[in-house]
Amino acid sequence: MNAAIDPAPISSAPDQDAPLILALPKGRILKALGPVLERTGLFRDGSAIGEGTRSLRFPTLDPQVDVVRVRSFDVATFVAHGGAQIGVCGADVLMEFDYPDIYAPLDLGIGGCRISIARPVGTGAHDNQAASSHLRVATKYPTITRRHFAAKGVNAEIVHLHGAMELAPTLDMASVIVDLVDTGSTLKANGLHETDVIAHVTSRLIVNRVALKTRPDAIRALIERFRDALQENVA
Ligand code: PRP
């Protein structure tokens, strides 16, 4: 190849002056996270981040920290791939993806819920296909679901949905679902009931392991701000 037209090598050295990117999830976690964000000093109104705009990246009160607002499931992917150095996501997402590049130093103790198995009202854990070695399950958690049922000797055939899986049993797409349950009102409204809890979930502060090595001071300082904000909450 002609060296004269080689593209310039891409530098892998991090820009130490660039703002850290903090990835935050939309929806219920962001609502619960609002007061914590206010106590970190990053936002005046933490629950209203990005309201009234289609922009996805925002400055914070600290010029060294910008926020990107993404889907809950994508927070881990943004952090694992280094697009964001730090983020907040549910333990459910960490369990599902199990990214080796992510370190989760802090349980924020917010967004508490559980990953559960739910079935149509009137059926129990041992009805239908559940007692056999094969079960069709609608879920947005294929890895967690497969692992859970495999440990019980059941081959879970996954119907992979990204939402509204509560519809799947009544539409004969699956016998059961595996989904997040908080108040239980979505299950109730759709004729389902919770029969087994697979895992309890809270939100975690997560960090890209490489970024922690290349920008340790900035990232550790931000982790400490979150830690202090949580302690203020308890005090
Ligand atoms: C979750 C989950 C259920 C619902 C459960 O969805 O998938 O649908 O919340 O909450 P409840 O027990 O309080 O009724 P979420 O609202 O987070 O939206 P999603 O479908 O985008 O995941």
d(CA 116, CA 130): 15
**Which pLDDT score is estimated for 9?**
52
Q: Are residues 120 and 147 in the same domain?
A: yes
d(CA 207, CA 222): 10
Nearest CA to ligand 1 atom 20: 163
**Which pLDDT score is estimated for 1?**
42
Looking up residue 42, the CATH number of its domain turns out to be: 3.40.190.10
Sign of the C-alpha dihedral computed for residues 188, 191, 197 and 198 taken in this order: negative
Q: Looking at the CA of residue 188, tell me the nearest atom of ligand 1.
A: 14
Q: Are residues 121 and 219 in the same domain?
A: no
Q: What radius of gyration do the chain's Cα atoms show? A: 21
Residue-number span of the structural domain to which 75 is assigned = 20-112+202-234
Q: Are residues 220 and 177 in the same domain?
A: no
Give tens-digit pLDDT for 154-175: 999 999 999 999 999 999 999 9
Nearest CA to ligand 1 atom 14: 186
